[in-house]
C-alpha cells in the first residue's frame, strides 16, 4: 500500500530533488493538510547513515522570549537525514534538532538526547517535527495534538540538546510510516543522533554523551535502539536509555489494542508491515474484508485524534473475512507469526543502563509483556532499572491506564536520564526482579 501524492507538475518534483533550505512549494497530501516540500525526499541519498540531506529553521509553536533575547526553550531546526530501513535499503527520515537556551551545568560538553515520540498516527501531517511547529492541528479532516512537547521541553530545561526523529515514512512523503517496526525506528533514532552533530549551530561535540528517551511507540524505539547500538551505531556514545511502556511483543500488544480506544494503531501496524513485507501483504489481502480494507486505507492518513474519534473501540472482527479478531488470525499463519517474531524486542542485550517503566494496569501496551522485556534483558546481563508504575484502574481500554503512567513517571525519568548524562552510575534492579510477577 503506497500513499498517493497530489503532485500536479514535474516542476515541484524537480525543485524537491535539488534539496535545500527554504523550499516554498507545498501541496495537499494528507486529509486537507498541506505538507511543505521540505518533506519530499530527493531521488539520490547520501551514502552514510546519519548524513544530513537538508535543514531549515523550524519555528516552535510553543516558544517564549527569554530575558537575554534568546527564545525559550531554544532554537529549532527541521532536518532530513539518511537511515537504512528493515530491508537494508537507504531511506530519508525527517526530524528536528533543538539547541537549548538553558546552559548545561553537568560534567563534560553539552549532551544530546535522541527522543522517539509516542504514537502520533500515520499521516505525514502527524510528524513530530511538523507538530513542534503546529502543536494543535484542526485543519481539514485532521485533529492532532503534540503531547510530546512536555517531555521535550523538560529535557531541554536540563541543558541537554534534543533531536527528535519522525521515524521512517512519517513526514517524509515517499512511503507510509512503518509503525512499530523495531529496525526502522531503532535505526532512525540512532541516525538522528548522528545527524544532530552536523546541524548548523549545534553546540554538541564528538565527546557529547547521548541519551535515548521514549514512551509507548517511542519506548519501543528507544529499547530497540539500545539493542542495536553496539552493531549498528557503535560511534554513538550511549550513556543511558529510558524506555517507557515499550511494545516489545507485538503478538501481545495486538490483543491489547484491539477493541480499545487506540484500535487505529492496529491498522497502522498492518499497513506498515504490509508495505515492508510482500508476503504479509498477501496474507492481509486474503484475510481482511472490504470493510477492513476501506478502514485500513482511511486510517493510513490519520493522526491519533482522528482515529480515536472515528475508530475508537472498534473490534477487528468487523474487518476480517472470518469474523475472528485479527490478533487471533495472524498467529495461526506461520508467515505472519514469523513477521511478528522478527519484531520481538528482548533478544539482544541493550547497551548501557536502561530504565524500563510500565504501568501495572496498562491494558493497551500490556504491562506483562513490558515486564518480560526487563526479565529478558536481565537474563542477558543487561543493566536494567525496572519501574512498575502502580495506579488504580482508570478505565478498561480507554487509554487512561496507558497515558497516566507517562505523565506520572516523566519527571523522574528525565532526572534519571540526566544523571546518566552527567556520568552518575545507574542502579540496577535485576537481582531483585523475579522471573514471574
Among candidate residues 364, 331, 181, the one with its CA nearest the CA of residue 259? 364
CB atoms within 10 A of CB 113: 29
Q: Inter-axis angle of helices 400-421 and 149-157, to 10 degrees?
A: 20
Burial string for 392-431 (b: 16+ CB within 10 Å, else e) reads eeeeebbbbbbbbbbeebbeebbebbbbbbbeeebebbbe
For residues 187 and 229, what is the distance between their CA atoms, to the nearest angstrom? 8
Bridge partners of 77, per DSSP, are: 57, 97
DSSP-derived 3-state class of residue 349? coil
Looking at CATH, the fold of the domain delimited by 260-342 is given as: 434 Repressor (Amino-terminal Domain) (1.10.260)
Residue with C-alpha cell 503531547? 147
pLDDT in tens, the chain (437 residues): 334 333 222 222 222 333 344 444 446 568 878 899 999 999 999 999 999 999 999 999 888 776 666 787 999 999 999 999 999 999 999 999 999 999 999 999 999 999 999 999 999 999 999 999 997 877 767 777 788 999 999 999 999 999 999 999 999 999 999 999 999 999 999 999 999 999 999 999 999 999 999 999 999 999 999 999 999 999 999 999 999 999 999 999 999 999 999 999 999 999 999 999 988 999 999 999 999 999 999 999 999 999 999 999 999 999 999 999 999 999 999 999 999 999 999 999 999 999 999 999 999 999 999 999 999 999 999 999 999 999 999 999 999 999 999 999 999 999 999 999 999 998 889 988 876 56
Among candidate residues 285, 289, 265, 288, the one with its CA nearest the CA of residue 277? 285
Alpha carbon of residue 424 to chain centroid: 27
What does the domain layout of the chain look like in residue ranges?
A: 50-249+350-432, 260-342
Among candidate residues 353, 151, 112, 387, the one with its CA nearest the CA of residue 240? 353
Residue 117 near residue 218, CB atoms below 8 Å: yes
Share of the chain residues as helix, strand and coil, in percent rounded to the nearest 5? 40, 20, 40
For residues 3 and 260, what is the distance between their CA atoms, to the nearest angstrom? 26
207: exposed, middle or buried (Cβ count in 10 Å: 0-12, 13-18, 19+): exposed
Per-residue DSSP letter, 109: S
CB atoms within 10 A of CB 326: 25
DSSP-derived 3-state class of residue 4? coil
**CATH superfamily membership of 50-249+350-432:** Alpha/Beta hydrolase fold, catalytic domain (3.40.50.1820)
- Cα angle at 146 between 250 and 99, to 5 degrees? 105
For residues 37 and 423, what is the distance between their CA atoms, to the nearest angstrom? 41
Q: Which helix (H) or strand (E) segment is 192 a member of? A: helix 182-196
Amino acid at each position: 500500500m503506497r500513499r498517493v501524492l497530489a503532485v500536479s507538475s514535474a516542476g515541484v518534483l524537480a525543485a524537491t530533488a535539488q534539496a535545500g533550505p527554504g523550499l516554498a512549494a507545498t501541496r495537499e497530501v494528507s486529509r486537507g493538510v498541506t505538507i511543505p516540500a521540505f518533506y519530499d525526499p530527493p531521488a539520490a541519498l547520501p551514502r552514510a547513515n546519519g548524513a544530513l540531506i537538508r535543514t531549515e529553521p523550524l519555528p516552535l509553536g510553543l516558544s517564549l522570549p527569554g530575558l537575554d533575547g534568546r527564545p525559550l526553550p531554544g532554537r529549532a531546526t527541521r532536518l532530513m537525514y539518511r537511515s537504512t530501513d528493515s530491508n537494508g535499503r537507504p531511506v530519508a527520515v525527517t526530524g528536528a534538532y533543538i539547541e537549548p537556551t538553558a546552559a548545561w551545568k553537568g560534567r563534560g560538553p553539552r549532551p544530546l538526547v535522541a527522543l522517539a515520540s509516542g504514537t502520533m498516527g500515520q499521516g505525514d501531517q502527524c510528524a513530530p517535527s511538523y507538530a513542534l511547529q503546529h502543536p494543535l492541528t484542526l485543519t481539514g479532516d485532521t485533529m492532532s495534538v503534540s503531547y510530546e512537547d512536555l517531555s521535550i521541553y523538560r529535557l531541554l530545561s536540563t541543558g541537554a540538546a534534543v533531536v527528535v526523529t519522525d521515524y521512517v515514512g512519517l513526514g517524509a512523503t515517499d512511503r507510509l510510516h512503518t509503525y512499530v517496526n523495531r529496525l526502522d525506528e531503532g535505526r532512525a533514532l540512532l541516525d538522528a543522533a548522528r545527524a544532530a552533530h552536523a546541524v548548523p549551530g549545534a553546540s554538541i561535540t564528538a565527546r557529547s554523551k547521548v541519551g535515548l528517551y521514549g514512551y509507548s511507540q517511542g519506548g519501543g524505539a528507544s529499547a530497540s535502539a539500545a539493542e542495536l547500538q553496539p552493531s549498528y551505531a557503535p560511534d554513538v556514545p550511549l550513556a543511558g536509555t529510558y524506555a517507557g511502556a515499550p511494545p516489545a511483543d507485538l503478538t501481545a500488544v495486538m490483543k491489547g489494542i484491539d477493541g480499545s480506544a487506540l484500535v487505529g494503531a492496529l491498522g497502522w501496524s498492518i499497513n506498515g508491515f504490509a508495505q515492508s513485507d510482500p508476503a504479509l501483504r498477501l496474507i492481509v489481502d486474503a484475510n481482511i474484508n472490504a470493510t477492513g480494507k476501506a478502514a485500513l486505507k482511511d486510517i493510513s492518513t490519520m493522526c491519533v485524534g482522528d482515529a480515536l474519534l472515528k475508530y475508537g473501540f472498534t473490534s477487528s472482527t468487523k474487518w476480517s473475512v472470518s469474523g475472528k479478531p485479527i490478533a487471533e488470525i495472524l498467529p495461526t499463519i506461520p508467515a505472519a507469526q514469523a513477521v511478528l517474531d522478527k519484531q520481538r524486542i528482548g533478544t539482544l542485550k541493550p547497551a548501557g543502563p536502561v530504565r524500563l517503566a510500565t504501568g501495572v494496569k496498562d491494558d493497551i501496551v500490556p504491562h506483562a509483556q513490558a515486564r518480560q522485556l526487563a526479565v529478558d534483558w536481565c537474563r542477558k546481563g543487561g543493566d536494567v532499572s525496572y519501574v512498575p508504575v502502580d495506579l488504580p484502574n482508570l478505565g478498561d481500554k480507554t487509554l487512561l491506564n496507558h497515558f497516566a503512567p507517562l505523565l506520572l513517571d516523566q519527571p523522574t525519568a528525565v532526572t534519571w536520564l540526566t544523571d546518566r548524562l552527567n556520568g552518575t552510575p545507574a542502579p540496577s534492579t535485576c537481582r531483585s526482579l523475579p522471573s514471574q510477577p
